[in-house]
Amino acid sequence: MQYNFYTSPPNYRSYVKKLCELKRDFPFLEVSSIGQSVLGREIYAIGIGNMQSITLFAGAFHAQEWLTCSLLIRYLEQLASSYKEKTTVCGFPVNQSLKQRGIVIIPMVNPDGVSIALEGASSAGYLRNFVDSIMQNSNRSWQANARGVDLNHNYNAGYKQLKELERSAGITSPSPRQYGGECAHSEPETRAMLAFLQTRNVETAYAFHSQGEEIFYEYGLNTPAKSIYIAEILSKVSGYTLVKNDGLYSHGGFKDYFIDKFYRPGFTIEIGKGENPLPITNLEKVYNKILEMMLVATVI
Ligand SMILES: [Zn+2]
């Protein structure tokens, strides 16, 4: 039987293979690495269209949320095919739109975490024993990178407040989830994203997580006025609910940092409903539900 990337969880090997196949089929894709994980896995970025002004989609910050990687690759493949054939998707002239504003997709921000989530501590190389010691019975709860740092709690946006919230929740050391690290930007995966933001003109950024069918759209006083309007449109076309940051999810996230430092619209999209990890069999259902939202998000 022919291997199908969309019917199995995206382990790092199959993910890299899929990117090679996409580059072969669509040579205009700009595939690059923005940096490496703690264990030396590449963090890939794939661009299509005008790279002077871009929308950013990034996924798999959290290990158990690897379905976001499959989803973003699925979207990338459809965009690439439509860009090449000059066809429309849900009425969107993809080729024309991407020539105005391009898109960069970073499907797997946390490749070590996804490997631990799918294959256990044995995938963590020299950190195998460390990962094993903090794993707490099962890799099903693993959301962090290989050093037990939650990458969506590691950005310098309200980091001090976040550390206080962590301490009151009893999280003071590396952990499968919700530990923000010794200091902001302590992790190479975080720094790779920062370097990307600093060198590229990202107009709007979307971080994909699971689950909840929700859209987070604000962070403090630097949230642009237009963010709520964009969020309302995204909600309308997807049926996803608009929500505000709360509790341990209030600070330190990628979209928080993007809004706070760049004064531009940033969003977190929580895909699907159920218990993480959402199964790969949910992919088509989730994709069909939010395809139009992703298209709107790409061009808005
Ligand atoms: Zn998440």
What's the CA-to-centroid distance between 65 and ligand 1, angstroms? Answer: 6
CATH of the domain at 45: 3.40.630.10
Segment 2-21 shows an average pLDDT of 93
- Cα(24) to ligand 1 centroid in Å equals 31
Rounded to the nearest angstrom, the distance between the alpha carbon of 3 and the centre of ligand 1 is: 28
Is residue 248 scored above 90 in pLDDT?
Answer: no
Gap from CA of 35 to ligand 1 centroid (Å): 21
Nearest to 294, CA basis, from 206, 203, 213, 193: 206
Ligand 1 geometric centre to CA of 68 (Å): 10
pLDDT over 70 at 72, yes or no? yes
Instruction: Tell me whether strands 54-58 and 102-106 are parallel, antiparallel or unpaired.
Output: parallel
Contact 295, 89 (CB under 8 A): yes
Count of alpha carbons within 13 angstroms of residue 67, beta-carbon side: 23
Please count the residues of the chain.
300
Give CA–CA dist 238/297, Å, rounded: 11
C-alpha torsion sign, points 53, 200, 220, 211 = positive
Report whether 28 contacts 84 (CB < 8 A): yes
Non-local CB neighbours of 230 within 8 Å, separated by 6+ positions: 204, 217, 265, 267, 297, 300
**Band of residue 2 on the pLDDT scale cut at 50, 70, 90:** low
* Number of domains the chain is built from: 1
The reply to whether omega before 188 is within 30° of 0 (cis) is: no
Give 271-291 pLDDT, tens digit per residue: 999 999 999 999 999 999 999
Full-model pTM: 0.97
Residue 205 β-bridge partners: 56, 266
State in Å: Cα 195 to ligand 1 middle.
21
pLDDT at 244 over 90: no
Residue 158: the pLDDT is 95
Cα-trace Rg, the chain:
18
The domain containing residue 242 runs over which residues? 5-299
Strands 54-58 and 88-89, by their bridges, are: unpaired
Is omega for the bond preceding 161 within 30 degrees of 0, making it cis? no
Q: What is the pLDDT of residues 118-169, one digit of tens each?
A: 999 999 999 999 999 999 777 788 999 999 999 999 999 999 999 999 999 9
Query: Cβ(256)–Cβ(157) under 8 Å?
Result: yes
Read off the tokens for 214: 């929700």
**How far apart (Å, rounded) are the C-alpha atoms in residues 11 and 115?**
6
Distance 143 CA to ligand 1 centre (A): 8
Q: What's the 253 CA to ligand 1 centre distance in angstroms?
A: 10
